[in-house]
Amino acid sequence: MFKPWTLLGIAVTLFGSGVSPLDNGLAKTPPMGWLAWERFRCNTDCKNDPDNCISENLFRTMADILVNEGYAKVGYEYINVDDCWLEKERSVYGELVPDRTRFPRGMKALADYIHLRGLKFGIYEDYGNYTCAGYPGVLGYLQRDADTFASWDVDYVKLDGCYAHPSEMDRGYPEFGFHLNRTGRPMLYSCSWPVYQIYAGMQPNFSLITQHCNLWRNFDDIQDSWASVESIIDYYGNNQDLIVPNAGPGHWNDPDMLIIGNFGLSYEQCKTQMAIWAILAAPLLMSVDLRTIKPEYKAILQNRKIIAVDQDPLGIQGRRIYKHKGIEIWSRPITPLFQNYFSYAIAFVNRRTDGTPSDVAVTLKELGLTSPTGYRVEDLYEDVDYGVLSPQTKIKVKVNPSGVVILRADVQPDFPRRVPYYTTQRTVFNPVQQVFRIRNNNGFSTK
């Protein structure tokens, strides 16, 4: 346990300097990788379910797939262990001990295996007496555990908040981050700090949180259902005035894992989650069995154009700009810029379930795209380029139930002399696919 004078010294170091205590140079764009929790939970039964239990074999396998099947090439780089990797008791010296049966080579060996493949290694702990699943927490061992993670060559630490007092988190989370930084090893720091305070009826101090965490959770754990994804989308939309200003390079809001390719979402709903997470500048942490994922879901996760939106270097989180009768429009400013005009990613989301696609018609100007030089517009799922459009051009998108159309509009340095009356679609028409058309009339409408 720390002595009072030690805690005072840490507090002076953390809060008495003008330098951000985080300052680890990490997460300049939202982190991407694979995380065990949502799909594999706390399955420790390696005797009866060896292929799916939380063990070193599972993480080695996922690391291999990340490299061999193209995920690493598009940006997924972290392999993250979540809860249930520990023995139930610390060593006689007070050290954390990986489960000896499921991680017989230890965590340093697992980190080495992952690093040899050009990937990074993440681990889980809890600012409390116990983790959420009842394994040893870091409380009382903050410096020792930070040093242990550094000795294991950990690259990413997720710190949960079970069995802890939310009122103590404003001190405890920065303190653990201080010890992580003091090791000299850059370790991305993922916090559950604000969500536990929100549950307790407290108003989180986001100015403090953004100084000490690379990312943080604001809302409920994601579950394998469309209702869960919708609740997260609603939370971020309804609270965006509080949430959006806190995001930026080095510090991100975390709406939780991607559950694309599991059991609870349809194909359209998976496309929607990927698009909205990109608009939100969210960490892209897959939690799915990559051994059995179907090709169409793999294609969503590896969509380079949508990943480029998520990873945009400006780091501006997007906002919901329209909501009416089940139709939503989300917008995110992105690069490139020309003069004082941003480019944009625009997501049209159909929250209706009435069984038929919905049409949404709007001019670029009504979406906030006002550059007189125009915008080159493309559909990021249908891979169709619609040329350079003026702010006065009206577009119409057809959005499937619980689905999405996501467009990218890149501001142009110069506008062509002649703008076509309408664009020609370059793919064969298919009534099942989402359709994008241009009309030359006025007014924003949905039906």
Residue 278 token pair? 């990109």
170 is catalytic: no
Q: Tell me which of 82, 83, 160, 410 is the catalytic residue.
A: 160
160 is catalytic: yes
In angstroms, the CA 361 to CA 381 distance is: 19
In angstroms, the CA 117 to CA 48 distance is: 29
- Structural contact between residues 191 and 216, judged by C-beta atoms closer than 8 angstroms: yes
One pLDDT digit (tens) per residue for the chain, 447 residues? 333 333 434 443 444 433 346 779 999 999 999 999 999 999 999 999 999 999 999 999 999 999 999 999 999 999 999 999 999 999 999 999 999 999 999 999 999 999 999 999 999 999 999 999 999 999 999 999 999 999 999 999 999 999 999 999 999 999 999 999 999 999 999 999 999 999 999 999 999 999 999 999 999 999 999 999 999 999 999 999 999 999 999 999 999 999 999 999 999 999 999 999 999 999 999 999 999 999 999 999 999 999 999 999 999 999 999 999 999 999 999 999 999 999 999 999 999 988 899 999 999 999 999 999 999 999 999 988 989 999 999 999 999 999 999 999 999 998 664 444 334 333 322 322 222 333 323 345 565
**Residue recorded with tokens 């076509």:** 420
What are the C-alpha distances in Å from 248 to residues 228, 285, 300, 309, 339? Answer: 25, 18, 25, 14, 21
- Of the candidates 376, 356, 355, the one whose C-alpha atom is nearest the C-alpha of residue 420 is 376
- Structural contact between residues 278 and 252, judged by C-beta atoms closer than 8 angstroms: no
Q: What is the pLDDT of residue 414?
A: 81
What are the C-alpha distances in Å from 78 to residues 240, 270, 286, 304, 386? Answer: 28, 21, 10, 17, 35
Q: Which domains does the chain have, with CATH numbers?
A: 20-310 (3.20.20.70), 319-446 (2.60.40.1180)
Q: What is the pLDDT of residue 415?
A: 64
**Residue recorded with tokens 């939106």:** 309
Residues in the chain: 447
Helix-then-strand count for the chain, H and E: 13, 18
- Of the candidates 241, 175, 247, 181, the one whose C-alpha atom is nearest the C-alpha of residue 216 is 247
Alpha-helical regions (H) of 44-168: 56-68, 107-116, 142-151
Alpha-carbon torsion angle 407, 410, 412, 418, nearest 10: -10
Q: Tell me which of 112, 170, 220, 221 is the catalytic residue.
A: 221
Radius of gyration of the chain (CA): 23
